[in-house]
Structure 1
Amino acid sequence: MFKNYFKIAIRNLSKHKLHTSINLIGLTLGLGISILILFFIQFEQSFDKFHTQSDRIFRLESHEKNEDGMSVSYATPVIAAPTFLEEFPQVDKVTRMIGGGAQTYLDESTIQFQSFLMVSPEFLEIFDFKLVKGDAKQVLKDKFGAVITQKTAKKYFGDTNPMGQNIRMLMGDDFEEYRIVGLLEDIPANSSIQFEVLINDQNMDYSISKNSQESWYNVYGETYLMLNDPDAKIAVEAGVEAMMKKALGENYVSGDYYFILDPISDMHLLDKDNTGMIETTKPQLLWILAGIAFMILIIASINFTTMAIGRSISRAKEVGVRKTMGAAFGQLVFQFLTEALLITLFSLTLGLILAEILLPIFNSLFEKELQLVYGFGQVMILLGLVIGITSIAGAYPALFMSSLRPIKVLKGNLSVKFGKQGLRKGLVAFQFFISFLLVASTLIMVNQMNAIKNHDLGFDQEMVILVEVPDAPSTSFVKSITESFAKAETYRQALAGRSEVNAAGITISTYGDRAFWDGGFSLEDGKQFNFRINFIGGDYLKTMGMEIIEGRDFNPEASADSSAFIINETFAKAMNWDDPLGETIPNNRFNAHQIVGVVKDFHHNSLYGQIEPVILAKSPSTLLSGVNMLMISSATNPKIVVKGNGSDIKQFQSILKEEWERIYPMDAFNFSFLDETVAEQYKADERLGKMITLAASIAIMIAAMGLFAMAALAITGRTKEIGIRKVLGASSWSISWMINREFLMITLIGVFVALPLSFYLMQGWINQFAVKNWPSWINFCLLVIGGILFTALIVSSQSYRATQLNPVKTLKDE
């Protein structure tokens, strides 16, 4: 019996090739995109779940009160790890995780910059990163032992066994030898913690002073705790206040400084600006992508439903005959559901092929390593899609057609409208609504991102290259910066003598969210004044094309202007200085200094944030002498900013590398482009915009196919009416307008409902930017006109053919 159901289903699908093809293409496109999105959502939700004790592992989150409220960060004091282990019996193991990097080599031919993590010996007992060689309890106990991943081993040692071999890293003033004592499998793509090299956290002695290691107010890296029991989190957090009171003594103020424990299962999907040392995904992105997948599938399913109902007139006699021959209602329903199931299964097969084809593009767009594996979770997703689409797209047509009365059908009294035109029109209108909602959202996003790209940032980013200068590790912060700047100055002066170089400067910070350091000091009235810091040298302002509106630039000589500051306009306004030149900061803790210039406001943050007060200084000792708050949110090594004279960026890059290798042959040459650094800030929204654009394109394509089929069905059911109208003298234009009018009304309903809703939905997204730019009303008028022309073109192509038919042929059976 089941075999006959499938035979008949295949026969019916083959008979109506146009409608079957439209359903097949629409569902294939919808399923291909939806499979990628749903597998991506499942992949994002799987982050850090491979750690077998993940429910017992927590990351410390620090809360510290300041003038602006509570400062929340995952950066923690070095002393936090041993203190939590000592104070709380519920803490089983603890590890620090401090990022670092150093010039590394085997011999002089393999010099490169290598990042690493400094961790406690228990790190590999807490986290389940798989060791291929080595003992997890022993490998991180030696200060000069290193654990590397297979990919890193390949980079340094090729196919030879890395165990027992040495690599040399610049730690402090000298290169130290580190013996490879452990080999890890490459870190899983769904791990929030990514690294290439692990070394013992005793190595922080090279860069963090003993005083800083014992201070509760200096933070470095992150701290992870493994508890004896997941429920012990409540007891530990309840005891933090007593711990901090004991640690800070009379400096402790209740509620001003404390820690909470965040489970690592929540740390990847994080809706916070400060996410610590890990890459995160905002949960809203997954909701948006899930909504896109749902809308595309709904559009494809609507095509299926409306065409099935539209073909009811041709299937009505089939239903009547089957019922007359004794077919039960359930058998007819099963027959129609079988057809829906077959189309869905065919579409799923093609959708999986399409998903595999689009996977590299998807991974490139979201910078992920998603793989289409078919485990239990993925199979359940596919099964859910098949059942869902078959039910949504096939259930109503099956129930509707199976309920037709055979007497009315076989007597020929069945109306072409079936009383269901309202449903069909409603489904088509909803299809247009979704399509134009996506198109309008795309228009808003594209317009906003173009405004971001074209906004004047207050500095020049064209033909500017950033060259990384390795920092000079030292337990003295000022000494480290000073020595690194001296090294950078040697290279800068060499570049300044080249005709291809327009200007060159030195900077600690680049541009983007939290790139400039945070500083703060107390005003005379006791209020806290917070600002942003950047240390610069050489012809920095000239290189960046920044405008001095009052006073002068720094003297490019390294030894000059060590006590001078340059501020931005916002700093002067915040201080209420009408004439800032010659002013000094109203705080007697600062060393002798003077404001020598005011630079026009520039966007040191991305355009998500407002412009804040900024101080530019040459000497760290002068500025740092007066601050009572300092938060370093970017690297401490300087960068040389170089602007070229020509337009050949490749040639300019080779010149910079040539000079670097001449001066520093033992150091790796690392560079980046300033415009790419700036653009990086908006990548997440650029990706989302591209995804919505793709979804809108697919939605319009599916809607166009559905409209084409629906117009064809509508005209087929009215060929006799069209013939009679022509015989009675109606023109082709009037007949075409009669048919178009119905579909144009549906289009306008969809468009006019979609437009205000797109404004409402995109309001939250666009409000995250400090610089906002909504599309003009002309853009939306063009969208409405485009929707009308889109519908008119498709429907007119069908109606024109119908008006050209000879009425004699359409009416001869009457």
Structure 2
Amino acid sequence: MWKNYLKIAIRNLSKNKLHTGINLVGLTLGLGVSILIFFFVQFEVSFDDFHTESDQIFRVERHQFEDGEDQTSFSTPIITAPTFESEFSQVAYTTRMIGGSAQAYLDEETTQNQKYLMVGPDFLEIFSFNLLQGTKEQVLQDKFAVVITEEVSKKYFGDANPIGKSIRMKMGDNYEEYQVTGLLENLPANSSMQFEILMNDQNLDFSITEEGQNNWFQVYGDTYVKLNSPSDKASVEAGVESMMKKVLGEKYKEGNYLFTLQPIAEMHLTDNPNSGMVESTRPTLLWILAGIAFLILLIACINFTTMAIGRSTTRAKEVGVRKTMGAEFGQLVFQFLTEAFLTTISALVLGLILAEVLVPTFNNLFEKELVLIYGPIQIFILVGLVILITAMAGAYPAFFMSSLRPIQVLKGNLSIRFGKQALRKGLVAFQFFISFLLIASTLIMVNQMKAIRTYDLGFDQEMVVIVDVPDVPSTSFVKSITESFQEAELYRQALLGRSEVQSVGISIATYGDNSFWDAGFPTNDDEQFNFRVNFVGGDYIKAMGLEMAAGRDFNPDPGSDSSSFIINETFAKAMKWDDPLGEMMPNTRFNPHQIIGVVKDFHHNSLYKEIEPVVLAKSPETFFSGINMLMISSTTNPKVLVKGNGTDFEAFRNMLESEWERVYPLEAFSFSFMDQTVEDQYKSDERLGKMVFMAAGIAILIAAMGLFAMAALSIAGRTKEIGIRKVLGASSFSISWMFNKEFLMITVAGVLVGLPLSLYLMQTWIAQFAIKSWPSWLNFAVLGVAGIVFTLLIVSAQSYRATQMNPVKTLKDE
């Protein structure tokens, strides 16, 4: 019996090659893209699930309330970890996680910038990274011990066993020797934490004073705890306030400074842009991508269903004969479902091949390391897709065809003309609705991102190169910044005499990447005033093309204007200063200083955020004297900002590198582009826009194939009617228009529903930007007209062929 079902199914599919081919291509495209997206979604939700007892691991989140506003961050005081361990018996292990970089020897003539993580000795007791050599209880106990990954081992030691060997890294003023005590397997791609070298957090002594390590209002890196039981979370959080009251003493304000615990399962998928030191993905992105995958599959299934119903006239007599010969309803249903299953399983095989081909493009687009692994979960997804598509695409045709009455179909009374099939009209209209929804959403995203790219940020990003200068670590924060700027000044002076250089500035922060530091101070009326700060030097304002609204620029000479600040217009407005020049901060804690200039507002942050009050300062000592809050959102090493003169970038870059080698012969040279730094802030939405664009293209292609097949089926079922109309004198145009009217009504319905809904749905996406731009009504009108023309071309091509047939042939009796 089974063999007979398969034979009949294969015979029917091969006999109708056009319809089978359209279904196969549509389902292959839908499945190929959907498999890729569903596997990607599954990959993203699997982040950090390889840690054993992961439900007991939590990241500490800091909450500081200012003026009723909860300013949350995952950056915590260094003292947080030992305090939690000593105050809560529910805490089994704690660790800090503080990132950094240092120059490291590769050989006697070569150094490189080496990233590392400072962690507590219990780091590997908490997290289940696979330790290939060494014991997790011992490898991080010593201050000068390091654990490295296989990749780092290959880079430093080749194929040799790294255990016991040394890596020299510059910590503080000197190169220190660190012994390799452990070797880790390369980190899983689905780990939120990515690192190369682990070292003991006792090395914080090189950069942070003992006072800073015990200060509850200075924050560095993340803190993690492992509880004895997941249920202990509530009791630990309930005891935080009493802990803070105990450790802060007189400085404690009730409910003002607290900590909560975030399960590590929630670290990766978050809409919070400040995700700490871990890689994160917005869950909204996954929902959108999963929705796109489902819509594409739905369009392909609609094609399958509408064409199956459209072929009802040709298969109705088959059903009638088989029922007359004794075939039961269930047998007929199974026969049609078998055909749907064979088409689906064939499309699945082709879809898997397509998905494998698209993986590199997808990884490049989203900067991921997705590999299509066919484990139990992935097999379950594939089986689920086959069952879902077989049911969606084959169920209605199977039940519809199997329910036909033999006497009706054998007498030739069955009428399923297209114009009388409301279901098929609705399905095709729904295809157009989805297509126009995706196209209109793409139009809105493209328009918004174009507005972002062309928006005047208030500074000049063209031909500005950012060169990272090595910092000078010190336990004194002020000394570290001051001496690092002195190092950067050496390079700036070397570049000033070059004809290729227009101007050179020095800066801690860059632009659009949230790198301006958060700071605040209490005003004279005890109100907390928060703003952004950047430490600068040289011709910073000139190099960045900032415009002065009032006053003057800093003197570029080192040491000058050390007691001066420059503010932006928003800062002056917030302080309600009509004439800010000569004013001082409204707090007596600040060392003597004055405001010497006001720059016109510029977007120091991305265009997701409004312009905030900003202070530019040269002397950290003067600035730090008055603030009571500082959150460092970037590295503390300065950058040299070089504004070039010409257009020959290769020659410009070679000049920068040659001067670097002269000033810093043992340091690695690295640079980036200012305009690229700015553009990188919108990568996530640029990628999403590209994905929606590709989905819209696939949806249009599948819908076009469906429209082509539907028009062909509709016209094929009415050839005698066309012949009679021609004999009675109807023109080819009038006959063509008869068919076009029916399909145009469907197209217009799709446009009228799809376009307004896209505007409604995209409001949430576009609301995240401080700068918003909607396409004009003319763009949507052009889109609607294009859809109508698209339909006319496809239907007219089919109807024209039918009108050219000789009526004698079409009116012949069988």
Identify the TM-score tier after normalising by the shorter chain. Answer: over 0.9
Give the Cα separation in 1 of the matches to 2:522 and 2:136: 48
- Contact 1:58–1:262 (CA under 8 A) maintained in structure 2: yes
- Give, in angstroms, the shift of residue 225 of structure 1: 0.7
Corresponding residue of 2:372: 372
- Aligned residue for 1:522? 522
Match of 1:362 in 2: 362
Name the residue aligned to 1:177.
Answer: 177
- Work out whether residues 79 and 214 of structure 2, in 8 Å CA contact, stay in contact via their aligned partners in 1: yes
Give the deviation of 1:513 after TM superposition: 4.5
State the partner residue of 1:605. 605
CA contact (8 A) 2:149 2:196 kept: yes
Aligned to 2:294: 294
Please give the secondary structure, in 1, of the residue aligned with 2:109.
Answer: helix
2:154 equivalent in structure 1:
154
Counterparts of 1:116-155 in structure 2, within 5 Å, are 116-155=116-155
CA drift of 1:273 comes to 2.4
Q: Is the 8 A contact 1:35 1:355 kept in 2?
A: yes
Q: What letter is aligned with 1:31?
A: L
Question: What is the identity, as a one-letter code, of the residue corresponding to 1:676?
Answer: Q
Identity, in percent, stands at 70
Q: Is the 8 A contact 1:108 1:666 kept in 2?
A: no
Counterpart CA distance in 2 for 1:251 and 1:552 is 40
Equivalent runs, 1:314-353 vs 2, <5 Å: 314-353=314-353
Query: How do 1:445-464 and structure 2 match up within 5 A?
Result: 445-464=445-464
Between the aligned partners of 2:635 and 2:67, the Cα distance in structure 1 is 26
- Distance (whole Å) between structure 1 residues aligned to residue 80 and residue 530 of structure 2: 26
Offset of residue 106 of structure 1: 3.6
C-alpha distance in 1, partners of 2:418/2:162? 77
Unaligned runs of 5+ in 1: none
Instruction: State the 1:595 CA deviation.
Output: 1.3
Partner AA of 1:457 in structure 2? L
The 8 Å contact of residues 417 and 717 in structure 2, kept in 1 or not, is answered as no
Aligned to 2:475: 475
Compared with structure 1, are the counterparts of its residues 419 and 709 closer, same or farther at alpha carbon in structure 2 (3 Å cutoff)?
closer
Work out the CA distance in 2 between the residues paired with 1:736 and 1:404.
31
User: Once the two structures are superposed, what CA deviation does each residue of 1:447-473 show, in whole Å capped at 9, x if it has no partner?
Assistant: 000000000001111111100011111
8 Å contact 1:533–1:615 — kept in the other structure? yes
1:678 maps to which residue? 678
Provide the secondary structure at the position in 1 that maps to 2:640: strand
3-state SS of the aligned residue for 1:682? helix
1:790 aligns with 2:790: yes
What TM-score comes out, normalization by structure 1 length?
A: 0.99
Question: Could you list the per-position Cα deviations for residues 150-199 of structure 1 after superposition, in whole angstroms to 9, with x for gaps in the alignment?
Answer: 11111112222222111111111111000111110001010011100000
Kept after mapping to 2: 8 A contact 1:468/1:639: yes
Q: Is the 1:520–1:529 contact (alpha carbons within 8 Å) kept by the matching residues of 2?
A: yes
Aligned residue-pair number? 814
Amino acid aligned to 1:759: L
Following superposition, the deviation at residue 418 of structure 1 comes to 8.7
- Which residue type is aligned with residue 417 of structure 1? R
* CA distance in structure 2 between the aligned counterparts of 1:64 and 1:6, rounded to whole angstroms: 68
Name the structure 1 match of 2:236.
236
Shift of 1:68: 5.5
The match for 1:733 is 733
Judge conservation of contact 1:5–1:335 (CA < 8 Å) in 2: yes
Q: After TM superposition, list the pairs within 5 Å mapping 1:498-647 onto structure 2.
A: 498-647=498-647
- Per-residue deviation, residues 621-658 of structure 1 (Å, max 9, x unmatched): 11111111111111100000011111122221111111
Match of 1:297, SS?
A: helix
Q: Report deviation, 1:419.
A: 9.1
Q: Does 1:30 align with 2:33?
A: no
Offset from partner CA, 1:688-711 (integer Å, 9 cap, x none): 101100100000000000000000
Partner of 2:654: 654
Distance 2:737 2:187 in 1: 63
Counterpart of 2:801? Answer: 801
CA contact (8 A) 2:217 2:629 kept: no
Deviation at 1:730, TM superposition (A): 0.8
Tell me, what secondary structure is at the counterpart of 2:62?
strand
- Which residue of 2 is the match for residue 255 of structure 1? 255
- Is contact 2:519–2:627 with CA below 8 Å preserved after alignment? yes
User: Contact between 1:106 and 1:166, CA under 8 Å: does it hold in 2?
Assistant: no
1:564-591 CA-to-partner distances (Å, cap 9, x unmatched) read 1111111111111122222222211111
TM-score scaled by length of structure 2:
0.99
Secondary structure of the equivalent of 1:561?
coil
Other-structure match for 1:386: 386
1:108 Cα offset (Å): 3.1
Match of 2:703 in 1: 703
Is contact 2:418–2:714 with CA below 8 Å preserved after alignment? no
Cα offset, 1:43, TM superposition = 0.4
Inter-partner Cα distance in structure 2 for 1:571 and 1:77? 29
Partner of 2:763: 763
Please state whether the residue corresponding to 1:652 is helix, strand or coil: helix
User: Is the 2:419–2:742 Cα contact (8 Å) retained in structure 1?
Assistant: no
**Residues 1:222 and 2:225 aligned together:** no
State the distance in 2 between where 1:745 and 1:217 align: 66
Q: Does 1:433 align with 2:407?
A: no
SS of equivalent to 2:771: coil
For 1:448 and 1:813, locate their aligned partners in 2 and report how far apart those are by CA, in whole Å: 61
Superposed CA deviations along residues 349-399 of structure 1, whole A, max 9, x for unmatched, are: 000000000000111111111110000000000000000000000000000
Aligned to 1:723: 723
CA shift for structure 1 position 76: 1.1
Shift of residue 420 of structure 1? 6.0
Q: Distance in 2 between matches of 1:35 and 1:68?
A: 46
Alpha-carbon deviation of 1:558?
1.1
Q: Write the letter of the residue equivalent to 1:396.
A: Y
Letter of the 1:626 counterpart? G
Task: Report if the CA contact (8 A) 2:316-2:401 is conserved.
Answer: yes
Once residues 278 and 68 of structure 1 are traced to their aligned partners in structure 2, the CA distance between those partners, rounded to angstroms, is 28
Query: Displacement, 1:229?
Result: 1.0
User: 2:76 aligned with 1:101, yes or no?
Assistant: no
* Greater mean alpha carbon deviation, residues 506-515 or residues 356-365: 506-515
CA distance in 2, matches of 1:598, 1:247: 41
The Cα shift of 1:761 comes to 0.3
The CA deviation at 1:89 is 1.0
SS at the partner of 2:208? coil
The one-letter code matched in structure 2 to 1:587 is N
Alignment of 1:296-311 (within 5 A): 296-311=296-311
Query: Does the residue aligned with 1:587 lie in a helix, a strand or coil?
Result: coil
Partner of 2:81: 81
Measure, in 2, the Cα distance between the counterparts of 1:438 and 1:677: 30
Contact preservation (8 Å) 2:152, 2:196 = yes
Rounded Cα–Cα distance in structure 2 between residues aligned with 1:237 and 1:143 = 32
